[in-house]
Structure 1
Amino acid sequence: MSTPRPVSPRQATIFPEIPKGDVISTYDSYHDAQLAVDALARANFPVANLAILGNDIRSVERVTGKLTYGRVALMGALSGAYLGLFFGLILYIFQPDNSGILGVFLAAVAIGAGFGMLFGVLSYAMNRNRRDFSSVMQLVATRYDVITEPQFVQDARQILIGDQPQGE
């Protein structure tokens, strides 16, 4: 039987936990929560004891545009060109004779762009009626709590109250 050992920082990231503590303040945007932590940092508060906790997480998909064959071909060509660029760099590194490498490099980029365009257009043609738009998916919280250990809550609140502009 083995004895349990303390969790190392590396293992802590493998098994994430929700931070524990008391709420100092609550904000409607992540940016406002960051500003509060910045204010605490400027006041020499021990910020290693803070956490910003997002609550009521929502999935937001922002539509960025309509897909067309031309747009899909361009996006496929660009991603394929990046793959070709990678392979061209690999060939450059491992080629014993570097004469004529520019031609090989350009050919790898062009072939990558061609295959990327081909696969992009074929994929779009097969899924044509299911998804005719491009989008970006984000996770957004409806509110953000700045939390800390109970012994630091009052000090943090005093610092944040003193940091507020006059008249609010």
Structure 2
Amino acid sequence: MEIDQEVTRTESAQSRPSALLASFEDYADAQHLVDRMSDEGFPVESVRIVGEGVRTVEQVTGRMTRGRAALAGAASGAWFGVFIGLLFGLFTTGTGWIWFVLISLVIGAFWGAVFGFVAHWGTRGRRDFSSVMTLQAKRYEVHVDQAMAAQAARYVL
């Protein structure tokens, strides 16, 4: 029931007529305006931050070699191994759980390294770099429901 009410609120907020309150080149500035409005008691449920001109930006973080792929796989496999070891450790008595964690860590790191190496080797050099992808907008507009526009205008400097 809670989910249905949230969906209805979101749909009705998007369909209500709105007025442009301010436009910013940086998301942090738009967020700051809405935060200030919230701090001063404005009903921010009627406010939306809209990103205009959205694009993806992929920041290359480095060269990916088979060794680095194996190392990254080993690290993620080790974390998974620790998780599994802790789960099995719940069913042991005494200090035996420590061995479950350590053995699971080693096995997870080994298989993670193998899978990381093989996965990178399988690309045959088509993607020899690592990266992080983000969404960015050219500008961020703060919109407010039209009924609240006059009251919200006092927050814009």
Q: Residue 132 of structure 2 corresponds to which residue in structure 1?
A: 136
Q: Which runs of no fewer than 5 residues in structure 2 stay unpaired?
A: none
Equivalent residue letter for 2:59: R
Equivalent residue letter for 1:25: A
- Identical positions, percent: 35
The answer to whether the aligner puts 1:41 opposite 2:38 as a matched pair is yes
Measured in 2, the distance between the counterparts of 1:62 and 1:16 equals 36
Using the TM superposition, give the Cα deviation of residue 42 of structure 1 relative to its aligned residue in structure 2, in angstroms. Answer: 2.9
Using the TM superposition, give the Cα deviation of residue 25 of structure 1 relative to its aligned residue in structure 2, in angstroms. Answer: 0.7
Q: Spell out the pairing of 1:7-156 with structure 2 (5 A cutoff).
A: 8-12=4-8, 18=14, 20=16, 21-93=18-90, 95-156=91-152
Aligned pair in 2 of structure 1 residues 79, 51: CA closer, same or farther (>3 Å)?
Answer: same
Q: TM-score normalised to the size of structure 2?
A: 0.87
Using the TM superposition, give the Cα deviation of residue 34 of structure 1 relative to its aligned residue in structure 2, in angstroms. Answer: 0.6
Measured in 2, the distance between the counterparts of 1:85 and 1:16 equals 45
Deviations along 1:74-114, whole A, 9 cap, x unmatched?
A: 11110000110111011012x24344221121000100000
Measured in 1, the distance between the counterparts of 2:11 and 2:49 equals 18
Q: Is the 8 A contact 1:92 1:105 kept in 2?
A: yes
Q: TM-score normalised to the size of structure 1?
A: 0.82
SS in structure 2 of the partner of residue 45 of structure 1: coil
Once superposed, what is the RMSD of the aligned Cα atoms? 2.3
Q: Which runs of 4+ in 1 moved over 6 A?
A: 13-17
Equivalent residue letter for 1:41: S
Number of aligned residue pairs: give it: 154
Aligned pair in 2 of structure 1 residues 10, 50: CA closer, same or farther (>3 Å)?
Answer: closer
Using the TM superposition, give the Cα deviation of residue 35 of structure 1 relative to its aligned residue in structure 2, in angstroms. Answer: 1.0
Measured in 2, the distance between the counterparts of 1:14 and 1:119 equals 42
Aligned pair in 2 of structure 1 residues 148, 81: CA closer, same or farther (>3 Å)?
Answer: same
Equivalent residue letter for 1:156: A
Equivalent residue letter for 1:106: L
Q: Is the 8 A contact 1:19 1:51 kept in 2?
A: no
Equivalent residue letter for 1:61: E
